[in-house]
Amino acid sequence: MNSVTLPDSLGHFGPYGGRYVPEVLMSPLEELEQAYYQARNDSSFREELSWLLHYYAGRPTPLYPARRLSGKLGGAEIWLKREDLLHTGAHKINNCLGQILLARRMGKQRIIAETGAGQHGVATATVCALFGMECVVYMGEEDMRRQKLNVFRMRLLGAEVVSVANGSRTLKDAISEAMRDWVTNVATTHYLLGSALGAHPYPMMVRDFHRVIGEETRAQALQQIGRLPDTIIACVGGGSNAIGIFYPFVGDSAGRLVGVEAGGKGTDLGEHAARFSGGSPGVLHGTLSYLLQDDQGQVGLTHSVSAGLDYATVGPEHAWLHDANRAEYVSATDADALAAAQMLARTEGIIPALESAHAVAEAICRAPKEPQAVYVVNISGRGDKDIDIYRENMPELDDGASGK
Amino acid sequence: MTATSTRIGALFATCRTEGRKAFIAYLTGGDPSPEQTVSLVLALERGGADLIELGVPFSDPIADGPVIQRASDRALRAGMTLPKLLDIVREIRRQSEIPLVLFSYLNPLMRYGFQKLARDASAAGIDGVLLTDLCIEEAAEPVSRLRECALDTIFLAAPTSTERRLRLAAEHSSGFVYLVSRTGVTGEQQSVSEAAAPLTQRMRAMTDLPLAVGFGISKPEQVSEVARLADGVVVGSAIVKCIEENAAIPGLNAKLESFTRNLTAPLRRA
């Protein structure tokens, strides 16, 4: 297992990854890759990013022992990596700060992004405000309906939110539309892609900007627990929070890495976003990875109560970790995630994002069977943005919904 | 690779001899329905098209503007698939020898399998394959499979392409090279991009292959302007839009034929 040195020079993680885009974007991607390598080796870039992550975003985030949750489950000792406490309420800001500094180095003044749940859109709008750059966020019409609060937050921050009415009107279509914008405006525009997806160098670069999650976890576990965790659990949409926390542990021989996909409401194509159990290798949005597709190679529709996990393909490094048996991938259903969110809220006073609630659900499922184990669950975001969806799904708690 | 033995090579050779430029028409296979594609291709040919790019509809066409996106949606809703498109090609071949290029995003072809695709497409009467999102770095396997079955492989070059990438496109293309006249998605434009002429000149310095210019060309004046630069002129969205606007009326084929004849008129005069 030497995935610490991956990807190769063309962006491959084993057979996955690569760069499958229209020719117009090939030279700009090569430029971006070169700019990223230069920045990564530039101590002033690294220092400025560290400064921002600390003073602006609020790093390091705590590693917190979830004693009441662990006690209730009566098994493994569960610790929470609190990315939900970061500025803007999710891990997404780590990558946005890194990419905005890179965009500034490259002289780009206009930033575009896609968003599903709105967390990446909010984080992008935030860093654009901070650096005085123009910001356009593409968001599926269906997601705009599901995530009204984040749409308003982006606008309040000065971003333009463009509604995408194509296809399934979710994250997949938002990315397609952002890519069309980028193809058109590539000379002036940086595409601030929000997950460890897309064409090289994005999967590598986004992972690198999030690996701080895993590096902190490692140091904090040794200091606070006295040993490394047995199991690390994170939700996987595109997979940025998961690869961020997994990556510093990938080279270890021990330690289970568990990615949790959206099991949605069923196992038929269109009812979930479980790419590893329901998909097969294919190309979407510039990368080769596990893809939900039909027998004709048309991309399948997906469903999840969580907009951030509602996507047909998964970051290519996860595909590699899966095939190399270094990480395992499971799924949690909509119902599991909603129940897990409620349990975490009531035992720890923490309302997780619906995405993160999928990781919590897996921990809840495993913990009773492993009394000696130490788990770290990545709470990648907080649940404020999901309050409307929680309300819809928990009518018994909601006066406004009574009588419906 | 320069000389090819396909209908594409023969077409450009004839054009060179006759001192004229080729008109390349794109349409999405199965739009508005699979049953209409054969007659639409024949209408394009009667209107003066020299080569047809047959689009394989894809669910997520990231390089296409709204017109071709809608065409893909219509075709997919009408049940269009790659195997059905190959049936359509066989039917076209009973009636026409016009060069046919399969124009697609990678995933539907990858799913079909390149070895099988190369065999089946060649047997059906396809002459070449162009993949919008297959960069040359990833193309070794598909190119060798396609060439084994004597299919041309056409790659794209764009205004943003570096010299190194132009050379790669030339080296891996056969039949012709497709020059994307501007940065952007497919769709009609008011005028021919200023990037078209310098791109054509840069590519001309790299290769003797025929050069076709596309993206944003929709009017006879633009056809005429591009014909002065390149060996072939590609019109896509304007043709697809003509099909879209007339899909519901009887006489679609005649309408498309006259629309195409109008576009190809400058090439006949030249």
**B residues 183..242 contacting A (CB < 8 A):** 183-185
Query: Least CA distance to A284: which residue of chain B?
Result: B107
pLDDT at A4: 58
Q: Is A16 exposed, middle or buried (0-12, 13-18, 19+ CB in 10 A)?
A: buried
Give the mean model confidence (pLDDT) for residues B62-67: 94
The residue behind tokens 């597709």 is A293
Whole-model pTM: value is 0.96
Cα–Cα distance measured from residue B265 to residue B263, given in angstroms and rounded to the nearest whole number: 6
Q: Do B183 and A187 touch (CB under 8 A)?
A: yes
State pLDDT tens for residues A200-235: 999 999 999 999 999 999 999 999 999 999 999 999
The residue behind tokens 């070059």 is B157
Q: What is the ipTM of this complex?
A: 0.95
The C-alpha of A113 sits at a distance from chain B's nearest C-alpha, in angstroms, of 15
Give the mean model confidence (pLDDT) for residues B198-208: 97
Q: How many CB pairs under 8 A join A and B?
A: 117
Give the mean model confidence (pLDDT) for residues B76-98: 98
Q: What share of chain B is helix, strand, coil (3-state, %, to 5)?
A: 50, 15, 35
Q: Do A24 and B110 touch (CB under 8 A)?
A: no
State pLDDT tens for residues A278-322: 999 999 999 999 999 999 999 999 999 998 999 999 999 999 999
Cα–Cα distance measured from residue B176 to residue B118, given in angstroms and rounded to the nearest whole number: 18
Contacts of A24 in chain B (CB under 8 A): 63, 158-160, 180, 183-184
Q: What share of chain A is helix, strand, coil (3-state, %, to 5)?
A: 50, 20, 30
Quote the tokens at residue B260.
């195409």
Q: What is the CATH number of domain B7-265?
A: 3.20.20.70
Rounded to the nearest 5°, which phi and psi values hold at A345?
Answer: -60, -40
> Does any CB of chain B come closer than 8 Å to the CB of residue A30?
yes
| AA identity, residue A16 | Y
List of chain A residues with pLDDT < 50: 1-3, 402-404
Contacts of B157 in chain A (CB under 8 A): 23
Beta bridge partners of B130: B103, B154
The C-alpha of B267 sits at a distance from chain A's nearest C-alpha, in angstroms, of 28
Domain ranges of chain B: 7-265
Q: Where are the beta strands (DSSP E) in A229-277?
A: 231-235, 256-264
pLDDT at B269: 62
Quote the tokens at residue A29.
């991607």
The C-alpha of B138 sits at a distance from chain A's nearest C-alpha, in angstroms, of 8
The residue behind tokens 């997994």 is A246
Say which residues have a Cβ less than 8 Å from residue A65's Cβ, sequence separation at least 6: A77, A78, A79, A80, A224
pLDDT at A5: 73
Nearest CB partner across the interface for A18, out of B81, B138, B157: B138
Concatenated DSSP letters of A311-360: -SB--HHHHHHHHTTSSEEEEEEHHHHHHHHHHHHHHHS--B-HHHHHHH
Describe the crossing of helices A240-250 and A92-105 by its angle, rounded to 10 degrees.
Answer: 90
State pLDDT tens for residues B174-194: 999 999 998 989 998 889 999
Concatenated DSSP letters of B19-34: T--EEEEEEETTSS-H
Band (pLDDT 50/70/90 cuts) for residue B2 is very low
Query: Least CA distance to A169: which residue of chain B?
Result: B60
Quote the tokens at residue B229.
């630069």
Query: Least CA distance to A181: which residue of chain B?
Result: B184
Question: Which residue from A246, A250, A227 is spatially nearest to A235, judged by alpha carbons?
Answer: A246
